Amino acid sequence: MPDLTAEQLSHFQGATTLCYCWHLQTREGSQTIRVTDHDRAVTFRGESWHPGLVIEASVLRHTLSLSPEPLDLKGALEADGITADDLKAGVWDGAKVSVYRVDWQASDQGVWLWSGYITDIREEGDRFAIGLASIKSDLERTSGRVFSRRCDTVFGGAACGVDVGSAPQPECDKRFATCRDVFSNAENFRGFPHMPGNDAVISGPGEKRDGSSREIER
């Protein structure tokens, strides 16, 4: 649960007039939607949140782990600016989502619950199932290159440069030896075959090391 002041905790423990308010913004920020599951418009944070959310949601979980916390929602989402065609076309794929719990009779009493992204939208009959991932998933994304002995590029892609159609053996195991000897493409190899081995990492100064510390992966 989010951190609540004593006043908020006291209020929410006895409140029976609570609703969810959802803020959605497309990935590029060109469209913003504020929608609630209440049957009337709710004013919160100086903005109007309009009816149009009918959702069956699993529990919005808060953990101390680095899990992306996948969340599947099933229901209906209708609001000005959101259409079935847009959902099918992927306009809202990757959209930012923030969820708030608000007392519609005292909208100054509202708390943030969860933030994340729409990961996928699937059509199920006359409704849409929406997959979400927590903002914690940002911590699990690879940023920049991965240092590895093996190549990290796509075989046959622009960075690789191998013509798959005329390649003598249209398979690649990402090893430097394969890139060099089978495809004659060592100059485009995007791994780090000369990385020190584990013995070089854990050994102390002056200790004798075997050849594996500098050996090219074969």
pLDDT digits (tens, 9 = 90+) for 18-68: 888 989 999 888 889 998 888 899 999 889 999 887 776 555 554 444 455
**Residues 36/21, Cβ–Cβ less than 8 Å:** yes
Global pTM reads: 0.55
Ordered DSSP codes for 186-208: GGG--S-TT---HHHHHPPTT--
- 207 pLDDT above the threshold of 60: no
pLDDT of residue 157: 86
- 15 pLDDT above the threshold of 80: no
Task: Give Cα separations from 207 to 43, 77, 198, 199, 203 (angstroms).
Answer: 70, 65, 13, 10, 6
**Residues 190/146, Cβ–Cβ less than 8 Å:** no
pLDDT in tens, 119-173: 877 777 766 777 777 776 666 566 667 778 899 888 888 889 998 887 666 788 9
Task: Give Cα separations from 9 to 2, 18, 110, 147, 165 (angstroms).
Answer: 10, 13, 11, 48, 65
- Token pair listed for 214: 């500098």
- Token pair listed for 27: 């990935």
